[in-house]
Structure 1
Amino acid sequence: MSDHLRPKGIIRPLRVPHDFAQLAELLENAFGEELRQSDSSMVCDLYTAANLGGLIRMPGGDYMRGYVYAEGSQVLGNISLSQDQANRANWFISNVATAPAVRGRGIAGRLLDTAIDAIRTAGGRLIRLQVRINRPIALGLYERRGFYTTDITEELRLDAHLVPHAARGSAEGLRRRSMRDNRALWQLVCATSPPLLIERAVLQPASYRLGLFSRLDNAIEAALGGRREHALVAESTSPLAAYGAIWAESARSPYTIELRVRPEARGVGWEARLADALINQTHAWGARNVHASISQSHPQAIAALTERGMVSQRVLKQMVLELAQT
C-alpha cells in the first residue's frame, strides 16, 4: 500500500457520548437519504445525546457500542455493535461507514475485523448484518470474512398522506389474535422464516406470545404514549394459514407491518385481506408513515402492499457469520 494511502490513525472503542456528534455527522454523510426514507431518528438521537448526555438504545434492547477509526481528534470511520438481550450469543453489526477522505485504505475491513474479534471474545456465536444488494464492495467485504446470505428482503414505505382512505376489500376470514393462537402462530413463524433464525433463537416464541393480561398491558402502554399493536390471524384454518400485525413503538414512531402466510396458502387472498385490514388500522390511530420489510420469497405479500400504495425503498441481503466455538 502506498504511504499516502496507509491509515494514519487508530481504531479504538466508541467513546459515549463524547464521539456522538462526530458519529452523527459521519452517518448523515454516509446514509442520510436511507435514514430519512426509513424514518430513522438515529442522527437526531446522537446529536441530542451528544448535547445532553445519555445512551442510544439499539434494536434488540442493547445500548450502542462499537469502534471508530480516528485520526487525532477526528472520527473518520465507525462500526456499531449491539447484543441481542434475549439471546446474548447473538450480535448485530450496523453503521459500517468511513468518511470519503479515507475510503480505499482498508479501514472498513479493519473495523469489521476488530468487531468480529471483540464479539468472539465476548462469547458471541452468531453475527447478523444487512447490506444493500447493489453495494458490491460492501458485499465482498463481508463475504471474504465468511458472511453468507440467509434471506433477501424488500423494504417498503407508504407516506402518511398517501394512505388509502378506505379498504379495497374486506377483512372476511380474519380475527384478532388471542392467547389460544400462541402455539399455532409460532409454528407459522417457523414455517415462514429462514431455518437458521429459529435454530439460533434469533426469533423466539416469547416475541409472538400473548399473556393473560397482554391486551390490558398493551392498552395501558398505548394510552401512555408507548407501543401499540394490532394483530390479526386467519380464522378457522388448521394449521394457521396467515398472520399480520401493525405496530408503532411510540407515539412519534412510524407504523411497521409484519405479514406472514404459509407457503401453501399464498396467493389465494390472505395477503390482500391482511394488507387492507392493517393499513386501515392507521385511520383509527392517526396518520403516520407505514413501513414493511418483506422477504422476496413471499412475492404475493410484496404485491399486495405495493398495490395499496407502498413503494419499494431498498432491497437488502440479510447476512450472518457463524462463529466457531472454542
Structure 2
Amino acid sequence: MLATSASRKVPFRGVRRLSLARDLRDVANLIEQTFGQEPDRAGQSVASEFRALAWWGPLLWALDRLSMGGEAFTGFVWEDDGRVVGNVTLSREWATPGCWLISNVVVAPDYRRRGIARALMEAAMEFVASRRAVCAFLMVRRENQAAIRLYEALGFAELGGQVTLRRESPPRPVAELPLGPGRLVRDVTFRDGRALADLARAATPAAVQRIQPVQPDVWLSEAQAGSGGWLLNRLGQRSRRCVVEEDGRLLAYARLTIARRKYHRLRFMALPHARGQVEGALLSRMLNLLADAAALPVLADVGAEETSAIDVLRARGFAESRWLLIMARHLDTAAPRLSEEV
C-alpha cells in the first residue's frame, strides 16, 4: 500500500508555459467555451485558428525556437490536474521592436474569481520583462470591467479603441449626401499609396501608433488593389475602396468587401478636422454598393475616436457589436498592488 501511494502522480495545479505541441486543442476548446457565442463570432474564429495550428504543434515548436530572436509565439496556461482552465497568449509585435501583444486572456467560467487571471498576467509580464521588452499591450471589451480593473492594477493604461458595428442585412439605398464645395468622392487609384499612409497616420491616435505604427507598404498595396474599381479576390469576394478628396488631399477613406457568405465588411477612417463633415457622403456611397449584394450581415469597423461615423452608422440601422479598448504598459512602469482577485 505504501509503495502504491508513493508511486501515484501528484496532481499539478498552477501556471506553466504553453506547450505548442500539446496544449493548442485544449486552449481552442477553452476559448470557444468562453467566447464562442459572441455575436461577431470572434471567439469561434480564434478557436478555429488554434485547432488548425494544433495539427502543426511539434513543427511550430521547432520553427518558433529557430525564429529570429526565438519565442515569437508563446504563452502560459493554468492547469488543474490535467485540465487546462486558463490561458494567456504572447506574441512579438515585429513592427515595434521590444513590444509584445497579450491576447486570449481567458479562464473557464467555473474557475473564475480565484486569482487565476491575475497569476497568468503576472507570469506573462514577468516573461516579457525577462526578454527586455519595452512595452506590452492588449485589447479588452469595454464592458469587461473586471478585466479592465485587473489590467489597470497591473499598470496598463488605455490608449484608444476599436469599434465594430453590425447590421443584420444590407440597408436600403439612399440618396447620397452632398459634400462641401471642392470636395468629391472617388475611387482609390494606384497613385494614392503615400496619401493613404499620411491619412492613416493623421487619423490614428499617436499613442496607438507608438505600439502599432502605420506601415506605408500596407497602404501602397491598398492603393494598388483599389485601382480599377472593383477587385475580385480568390474567395469570390468583391472589394471597393473610395476616398473623399479636397484640393488633392485625402480627407477620408472607406473599404467595402462584399462576400458570398458569412458577412460583408466595411472599414472607415477620416482626418480629425474633417470628422462630422464627410461621413454621411462617403458611408452612403459605400452602403449603396450593397444594393444587389447577398442578404448577409454587414460589419463596420471604425476607431473609437470616429464618433461621427458611429452616429451615421447607427442612424442606418447598425448596432454596436464589439467595443475594444487598447491598453498598454511600458515596462519601466511599476505596477500598483491589486486589491481584488479576478
TM-score range for the pair, normalised by the shorter chain length: 0.7 to 0.9
1:175 to 167, 186, 196: 186
Per the alignment, residue 79 of structure 2 pairs with: 70
Partners of 2:50 and 2:31 lie apart in 1 by 10
Alignment of 1:102-181 (within 5 A): 102-159=111-168, 162-169=169-176, 173-181=184-192
User: C-alpha displacement at 1:153, in angstroms?
Assistant: 3.6
Per the alignment, residue 236 of structure 1 pairs with: 246
Per the alignment, residue 293 of structure 1 pairs with: 301
User: Per the alignment, do residues 69 and 35 of structure 1 end up closer, same or farther by CA in structure 2, a change over 3 Å counting?
Assistant: farther
**Identical positions, percent:** 28
Alignment of 1:1-326 (within 5 A): 9-34=13-38, 36-38=40-42, 40-50=44-54, 52-53=55-56, 65-159=74-168, 162-169=169-176, 173-210=184-221, 214=225, 222-225=232-235, 229-247=239-257, 254-268=263-277, 270-282=278-290, 286-324=294-332
Partners of 1:229 and 1:120 lie apart in 2 by 42
Partners of 1:223 and 1:155 lie apart in 2 by 23
User: C-alpha displacement at 1:226, in angstroms?
Assistant: 7.8
Kept in 2, the 8 Å contact 1:20–1:49? The answer is yes
When structure 1 is superposed on structure 2, of 126-135 and 163-172 the one drifting more is: 163-172
Counterpart of 2:216, as a letter, is P
User: C-alpha displacement at 1:197, in angstroms?
Assistant: 2.6
Unmatched 5+ residue regions in structure 1?
1-6, 56-61
User: C-alpha displacement at 1:113, in angstroms?
Assistant: 1.4
Q: Residue 15 of structure 2 aligns to a residue in which SS?
A: strand
User: C-alpha displacement at 1:289, in angstroms?
Assistant: 3.1
Counterpart of 1:194, as a letter, is P
Partners of 1:24 and 1:110 lie apart in 2 by 20
**What TM-score does the superposition give when structure 2 sets the normalisation length?**
0.76
User: C-alpha displacement at 1:321, in angstroms?
Assistant: 1.3
Larger radius of gyration: 2
Kept in 1, the 8 Å contact 2:189–2:224? The answer is no
User: Per the alignment, do residues 196 and 283 of structure 1 end up closer, same or farther by CA in structure 2, a change over 3 Å counting?
Assistant: same
How many residue pairs are counted as aligned between the two chains?
307
User: C-alpha displacement at 1:302, in angstroms?
Assistant: 0.3
Partners of 1:200 and 1:301 lie apart in 2 by 24
Which string of whole-angstrom CA distances, capped at 9 and with x for unpartnered residues, describes residues 3-30 of structure 1?
xxxx961322222352233222222232
Which string of whole-angstrom CA distances, capped at 9 and with x for unpartnered residues, describes residues 189-235 of structure 1?
22221102334453322222248964589988x44228864221113
Partners of 2:112 and 2:138 lie apart in 1 by 21
User: Per the alignment, do residues 190 and 45 of structure 1 end up closer, same or farther by CA in structure 2, a change over 3 Å counting?
Assistant: closer
Q: CA RMSD in A?
A: 3.4
User: Per the alignment, do residues 235 and 136 of structure 1 end up closer, same or farther by CA in structure 2, a change over 3 Å counting?
Assistant: closer
User: Per the alignment, do residues 219 and 323 of structure 1 end up closer, same or farther by CA in structure 2, a change over 3 Å counting?
Assistant: farther
Q: Residue 276 of structure 2 aligns to a residue in which SS?
A: coil
**What TM-score does the superposition give when structure 1 sets the normalisation length?**
0.79
Q: Residue 301 of structure 1 aligns to a residue in which SS?
A: helix
User: C-alpha displacement at 1:243, in angstroms?
Assistant: 1.3
User: Per the alignment, do residues 31 and 123 of structure 1 end up closer, same or farther by CA in structure 2, a change over 3 Å counting?
Assistant: same
Q: Residue 163 of structure 1 aligns to a residue in which SS?
A: coil
Q: Residue 26 of structure 1 aligns to a residue in which SS?
A: helix
Partners of 2:299 and 2:97 lie apart in 1 by 28
Partners of 1:18 and 1:30 lie apart in 2 by 20
Kept in 2, the 8 Å contact 1:154–1:296? The answer is yes
Partners of 2:194 and 2:153 lie apart in 1 by 39
Unmatched 5+ residue regions in structure 2?
1-10, 61-70, 334-342
Partners of 1:119 and 1:79 lie apart in 2 by 13
Counterpart of 2:209, as a letter, is I
Partners of 2:26 and 2:106 lie apart in 1 by 12
Partners of 2:141 and 2:210 lie apart in 1 by 25
Partners of 1:63 and 1:283 lie apart in 2 by 44
Counterpart of 2:171, as a letter, is P
Counterpart of 2:157, as a letter, is Y
